[in-house]
A and B are shown apart, each in its own frame.
Chain A
């Protein structure tokens, strides 16, 4: 059963803590993406990776970090440097950056 998964679904963080959001895909896609969505807003690109062991900053990379050690996995770390991390985080992948992206179900992060 092919798809893209994210965990956890809900995550609570205390101020000053780093947290890591998981994103896994078994679609054999080379490209993976992390987006942030705030209420009533569209998606903003945080980081993307077009191939294993390589990634680039998107529009709002400050306070976030990623790794791409395996093709299937693209974890996102929200660091304490991110001033307003409460948001809905979406991971996506594609086999061709000029075609459709496949999205995971999202992780809702709340800072307490």
Chain B
């Protein structure tokens, strides 16, 4: 079952621009996580935001969480060609903490 759904499915921007990706989910969560995947590689954890937090920053990343709308956004500021990757949101399932991943947003940053 799919919990998180990212939007848009694909995003193409120029280097230096900001990239915003959105994630919607269906049921109550303890936390929401964002991961990055370069083509053909494993996932790398970017940031975790807990259900009682509204905003979190890490370097050029800014994540917001709106539990009333069951949605989150990931903002990458001043993007670089090296940010080209797929980005996934993941929500926990509740009692056991297992993650449910969305289908991802494929970001392409052109130099």
Chain A residues with CB under 8 Å of chain B are 6, 33, 35, 40-45, 48, 50, 58-59, 88, 90, 92, 96-106, 108
Asked if B30 lies at the interface with its beta carbon under 8 angstroms from chain A, I say yes
Size of the chain B interface, CB-CB below 8 angstroms: 25
Question: What are the residues of chain B within 8 A of A41 when measuring CB–CB?
Answer: 103-104
Q: Closest A-chain residue to B95, C-beta based?
A: A97
Enumerate the 8 nearest inter-chain pairs by beta-carbon distance, A residue then B residue, closest first: A97-B97, A103-B42, A42-B101, A100-B45, A43-B101, A98-B97, A103-B43, A42-B103
Contact A90 B43 (CB under 8 A): yes
Contact A42 B1 (CB under 8 A): no
Chain B residues with CB under 8 Å of chain A are 1-2, 4, 30-31, 33, 35, 40-45, 48, 88, 92, 96-104
Q: Closest B-chain residue to A6, C-beta based?
A: B42
Question: What are the residues of chain B within 8 A of A106 when measuring CB–CB?
Answer: 40-42
Contact A101 B102 (CB under 8 A): no
Q: Closest B-chain residue to A31, C-beta based?
A: B97
Question: What are the residues of chain A within 8 A of B88 when measuring CB–CB?
Answer: 42-43
Contact B96 A97 (CB under 8 A): yes
Contact A101 B99 (CB under 8 A): yes
Q: In the complex, what distance in Å separates the CA atom of A92 from the CA atom of B33?
A: 15
Q: In the complex, what distance in Å separates the CA atom of A106 from the CA atom of B40?
A: 8
Question: What are the residues of chain B within 8 A of A40 when measuring CB–CB?
Answer: 103
Contact A58 B98 (CB under 8 A): yes
Q: In the complex, what distance in Å separates the CA atom of A81 from the CA atom of B92?
A: 29
Q: In the complex, what distance in Å separates the CA atom of A23 from the CA atom of B103?
A: 24
